[in-house]
Amino acid sequence: MTSGEPENDGWIRTSRDGAVLTVTLDRPDQLNAQTPATWSALAAVGAALEDDVRVVVLRGEGRSFSAGLDRAMFSAEPGTTGGLGDLGRLDAAEAQERIRGYQAGFRWLRSPGIVSVAAVQGHAIGAGAQLALACDLRVMSDDAQLRLPEATLGLVPDLTGTSTLTELVGYSRALEICLTGRAVRAAEAHAIGLANVVVPAAELDATVSDLVAALLAPPAAASRATAALVRSAVRNDPATQDAAERAAQVLRLQDLVAGN
């Protein structure tokens, strides 16, 4: 196993074990509160992702996954680097481009070729919830809860959360969760499809390890092709998806015949 050094400004730590990359939010004294530097560090991890990585595990150090945006970032005063006040004073096009860069720290977690797993304990609020939702799968401890309070603060979820949440739970439930900003606790998250599994906190790491082992069991090419099909099924009409299945299966059969 090899380990990377924490990002001095983003509180991100990475480690690699074979085909598994673990990305850890490493600011436990602040409940892994995030800043734009966190998102830049996450985007850099995604940009440097090696082709032989098959599973990415995203976790938070300490008692919470991530309590969301660092409170200092909420300042409306000028001069808070990356703060909402400074962002709101930018030209609209420049502000949108900056947010696009922030979103890159989340969107790579659904990159082709990998399956991402969020290990969620304690609070996952705002940016924390959106980071968990950005992953393909979520394992939650029974004390975990997700909240998207942005609308109640006069804002909107803008870190890819609206699309990923709606894919998981459907339009009306996603709308209600976003507009009320209420907590979705672990049992409910499992019932509505936000969590793949919920376990006691003491079993979280072992359960994630078991899931990762199961994800690595199929041959890499078949696993990646299947994941690509499931992802495209969310948006494709049936005829388009049927065609995608046919094309993918022919490639798999050709590889099997060739002995690959």
Span 221-259, pLDDT tens digits? 999 999 999 999 999 999 999 999 999 999 999 999 998
At residue 254, the pLDDT reads: 96
- CATH of residue 150's domain is 3.90.226.10
- Is 38 or 80 the better-scoring residue by pLDDT? 38
159 and 245 inside one domain: no
- Distance set, CA 123 to CA 33, 114, 207 (Å): 11, 25, 19
Same domain, 28 and 125: yes
pLDDT per residue as tens digits for the range 192-210: 999 999 999 999 999 999 9
Structural domain including 43 reads 2-216
Residue 131 has pLDDT above 80, yes or no: yes
Give pTM, 2 decimals: 0.92
Residue 220 in tokens? 């890499």
* pLDDT (0 to 100) of residue 138: 98
- Of the pLDDT bands very low, low, confident and very high (cuts 50, 70, 90), residue 60 is very high
In terms of domains, do 224 and 143 share one?
no
C-alpha distances in angstroms, 231 versus 70, 160, 200, 241? 32, 16, 30, 10
Q: What is the mean pLDDT of residues 117-145?
A: 98
Domains contained in the chain, number: 2
Distance CA 249, CA 28 (A): 45
Which one, of 215, 107, 208, 114, lies nearest residue 198 by Cα? 208
Residues 142, 253 share a domain: no
Q: Indicate if 78 and 102 belong to the same structural domain.
A: yes
Residues 107 and 236 in one domain: no
Residue 202 shares a structural domain with residue 244: no
pLDDT at 1: 37
Are both 233 and 169 inside the same structural domain? Answer: no
Residues 141 and 238 in one domain: no
Are 123 and 147 within one domain? yes
In sequence order, the 6+-apart residues with CB closer than 8 A to the CB of 66 are 25, 31, 32, 33, 34, 60, 123, 124, 125, 127, 128, 131, 132
Quick one: 199 and 82 in the same domain?
Answer: yes
Q: What is the CATH number of the domain that holds 234?
A: 1.10.12
Q: Tens of pLDDT along 101-118?
A: 999 999 999 999 999 999
Cβ count within 10 A of residue 152: 13
pLDDT attached to residue 201:
97
Question: Buried b vs exposed e over 51-88: b needs ≥16 C-beta within 10 Å?
Answer: eeebbbbbbbbeebbbbbbbeebeeeeeebebbbebbe
Q: What percent of the chain has pLDDT over 90?
A: 88
With a cut of 50, say whether residue 6 has pLDDT above it: no
Same domain, 228 and 205: no
